[in-house]
Amino acid sequence: MRVKFVLGSLALTFFVILILGAYLYLRIQDNSQLLISRLEGNIRAQAEEDIVNASREQAALLNNFFESINTNTSIVGASIKNILNNQEALASSGYWDARIDLSQLASGSWDNSNQEPASIFIPAGVSISESLSSKLNLIKHSEFVFPSIMKDNPDIVAIYFGGTSRETIYYPNIDLANIVPSDFDVTGRQWYLAAEPKNNPDNQVVWSAPYEDAALNGLVITASVPVIDENNRFQGVAAMDVQLRRITDQVASIKVGKTGYAFLVDNENRIISLPGAGRNDFGILDENALLSDIIETNALPATTPELSEMLTNIKQSNQGLFTMSLAGAERYITYNIIPQIQYKLVIVVPSAEVLSGVKEIEKEIKTQTRNTINVSLLLIAGVLIIASAIAFAVSNNLTKPLQSLNQTATEIIQGNFRARAKVNSRDELETLAATLNTMTDTVSDLVSSLEQRVFERTAELQMVMQQGQQRAKQYEAITRVSQAISANKNLQELLPQIAEVISEQFGFYHVGIFLNDAANKYAVLVAANSEGGKRMLNRGHQLRVGAQGIVGYVTGNNKPRIASNVGNDAVYFNNPDLPDTQSEMALPLAEGNNVLGALDVQSTEPNAFSEQDLEALTTLAELVTIAIQNAKLYEQMDKSLAESKAISQKFFRENWNRLAEEYRFSGYRYTAGIAAPLINEGHKEETGTEQVDRKQVRVPIQIRGVEIGELSVMVPKNENIKSDQIDVIRAVADRVAVIAENARLFDETSRRAERERLVSEITTKIRGTNDPQEMIQTAIRELREALKVSRIEIIPRTNKSPDR
């Protein structure tokens, strides 16, 4: 019986430990795999989100560059259009004369001086007509605008204009006539044809494909826009060559992970700025492709499946993320469209780099699990040894204690590690019960330790996720501010919107934007989101530059300043409208060394600003500076247009006033098919029965907003004039205005031509002799005949008669 009991006890103990060990082993393995799976999924999702955000941010930066080029191209086209539309104001300036300053080369083409700011080229076979000469004289005034555009935009290599008469004006002056063939036809160039209204009905800016510049300017792209005058006539195409070195350098500088890289794909599947790692990944080994920044995929001798798959995937949508195997390893590939030019920015990142943390954590968890299992096995082995020793010492009186032990063991098997064996027999069974309780405590400690480790890993993961969410809010704020700047050029509406976005996304209770006044003495608050800030706006709050508060310090020194605790900051300005401020940060809004204002952010918490906040707010400050610069540029353009319009109207009004003084009649009366002039003075209104039975309908005759007369129609007095009849009279008045203006222009042109002819004839006759006396007599005779006068005197001036 004793032997049987001992054997039975050993068998039962072994069975309990075996079940408990198997349960613990399976539980530990399941928890480890679950933790690894969740951790890998979260890290992968976070990594993908970071890659996509980086791609979107970089694409937005590239798009800003092309938007600025688009704006400058539109400005160039609009400038030429305005010059052509202001012919009356500029034609008589005498700034430049094509008939004098152009010379015809031996090849038949026309060229100007190399000392002038721009090259002018007219191919052989094109004569310098009056209209072409007038057009060139007008466009020559662009020298006052285009050089400054090129100076402010170093990426612009050249600005040029191709006219419908095949004339070319090229900035800077590169002696174009000695570079191109004598029969060079600018109207056949691809950039000209693409921008023509028949191929570009919306008259938008058109982009060429990128190409390697022959003048060693690297990768270049051409932007062109049609020039349509005020009469809706196509005058030519304005264009500019833009160097893409800054774009390719920016793309090359994009680094995601340790070995990630980026490149561009245009809308015709040309690959731009692909680094060496990318050429190896996609198997591009063609020597010609390796020597160029542009890879013509259609011209490659062979296209690898990886390259074809990548190009096919990025065609599907404007942005996306996918994985594929390159060079034997998985790669993340994310792409985002550059809206302005319809190129796509592609970023390639090895999956192993962004998921390296997962492998390390997985390895650590497996190591800890294996160590726990090994310790458990040792403990189980020790328990078996102790149980065997106790079993051999058990006596026959073991039934009741054994049942108690059996019940406790059953509860432990079911997972109740708080169960304890209570045996007070003061013999081997009591010792066995104590041993079982010790073993249960040990196993419980092991399980608790594992659960604590799982809790710690989960807390770390949640912290990483919270940081990612905060970063996403900052990126969203930058994106929203960029969108607001693109959609709105009015600073009075834009700056308050930016202040609200920053406060909402970053959680700061006050955001203010200051702009320096014209004298650069005070920083004036122009936008704020808080109630206190709005009260400050209403009373015109301002701080002295370089003297008052953190904002004054920033605007005076062009350096950011952070007060982590305003109570300890000597520069801080205690504002009663913002009593809850505990920390403050101000960033300069500067264009180089020129400080435009400051971005002021205040929080109710001390030490509220992190490095990430500083980085994001610095980017936002740069965006606000760009918005201010854009608004000033638009304001200057509007002012220039208004001044040009005023000058044109003044010149136009003076010409018509001069005509009114020259002629002795002030209009015409048309009655029963007979037209009779109205004398300036003394013409009478209709009297008698005509005045009694009729009434007048008067409609002003206007040209370009200037009233030059009126159309008066006599109708029966009892007749009701309908709106359609008034419309007919107004249409006739408009037609009369156009005809009168054409007649005035024709008369003015005829007079100018006659005057030039007389001057030329008299000059020719005077040059026919070398005798001064005969020259004077010839001049007097010709002037007397031309002016129809009887007497002309030439009175010499002497130093003794200063009053003459």
DSSP 235-284: EEEEEEEEE-HHHHHHHHH---TTT-EEEEE-TTSEEES--HHHHHHTT-
Identical fold between 247-354 and 488-636? yes
Return the exposure string of 20-36: e unless at least 16 CB atoms fall within 10 Å of the residue's CB, then b: bbeebeeebeebbeebb
Q: Are the C-beta atoms of 52 and 334 separated by less than 8 Å?
A: yes
Note the pLDDT of residue 112. 93
- DSSP bridge partners of 524: 515, 542
User: Which residue in the block uniquely carries the two structure tokens 């400005």?
Assistant: 75
Strand residue runs (E) in 661-705: 665-671, 674-679, 694-703
- What is 488-636's CATH topology? Beta-Lactamase (3.30.450)
Under a CB-based contact definition with an 8 Å cutoff, are residues 240 and 222 in contact? yes
Q: What is the dihedral of CA 72, 78, 80, 84, to 10 degrees?
A: -170
Which tokens in the block code for residue 693? 């039975």
* Closest CA relative to residue 766, chosen from 755, 774, 756: 774
Dist CA 800 CA 458 (whole Å): 107
Residue 23 structure tokens:
């349960």
Helices (H), 488-569: 491-506, 531-538, 549-557
CA 116 from chain centre, in angstroms, equals 35
pLDDT of residue 572: 67
- Phi/psi at 165 (5° precision): -90, 15
Helices (H) and strands (E) in the chain, counts: 21, 25
379 close to 440: Cβ distance less than 8 angstroms = no
Q: How far is CA 297 from CA 21, 84, 123, 591, 772, in A?
A: 62, 44, 37, 41, 78
| CB contact at 8 A, 655 and 620 | no
Asked whether 186 and 168 are in contact (CB, 8 A), the reply is yes
CB 444 within 8 A of CB 416: no
Nearest alpha carbon to residue 633 among 145, 140, 202, 161: 145
Asked if residues 450 and 372 have their Cβ atoms less than 8 Å apart, the reply is: yes
Give the pLDDT confidence score for residue 804 in this predicted structure.
Answer: 43
| Sequential DSSP letters for 87-135 | HHHHTTS-S--HHHH-EE-TTS-EE--TTSSSEEEE-TT----HHHHHH
Single-letter amino acid code for the residue at 303: T
Residues 544 and 552: their CA atoms lie apart, in Å, by 6
Contacts with 621 (C-beta within 8 Å, 6 or more apart), sequence order = 587, 588, 589, 599
Map tokens 């247009």 to a residue: 641
- Predicted confidence at residue 663, as pLDDT, reads 67
* Residues 282 and 326: beta-carbon distance below 8 Å: yes
- Give the model's pLDDT for residue 80: 93
What phi and psi, each to the nearest 5 degrees, are found at residue 565? Answer: -140, 105
Strands of the 294-296 sheet, one edge to the other: 294-296, 270-272, 261-265, 343-350, 329-338, 319-326
pLDDT, averaged in runs of 10, over the chain (804 residues): 64 76 73 71 78 90 92 94 86 83 92 93 92 91 90 92 95 91 93 94 92 74 94 95 89 85 87 85 72 72 80 89 88 92 91 71 72 75 75 60 74 75 70 80 78 75 66 69 69 84 85 90 90 88 86 88 76 77 88 88 86 83 85 81 79 72 70 70 48 77 79 82 85 85 82 85 84 83 78 70 48
131 Cβ contact partners less than 8 Å away, ≥ 6 residues apart: none
Residue 463: C-alpha distances to residues 312, 450, 455 (Å): 38, 20, 12
Task: State the pLDDT at residue 688.
Answer: 47
Correct CATH for 247-354 of 3.30.450.20, 3.40.50.300, 3.40.640.10, 3.20.190.10? 3.30.450.20
Domain boundaries along the sequence of the chain: 2-65+357-459, 86-209, 247-354, 488-636, 663-804
485: tokens are 């700047």
Distance CA 255, CA 101 (A): 54
Pair of tokens at residue 540: 């015109």
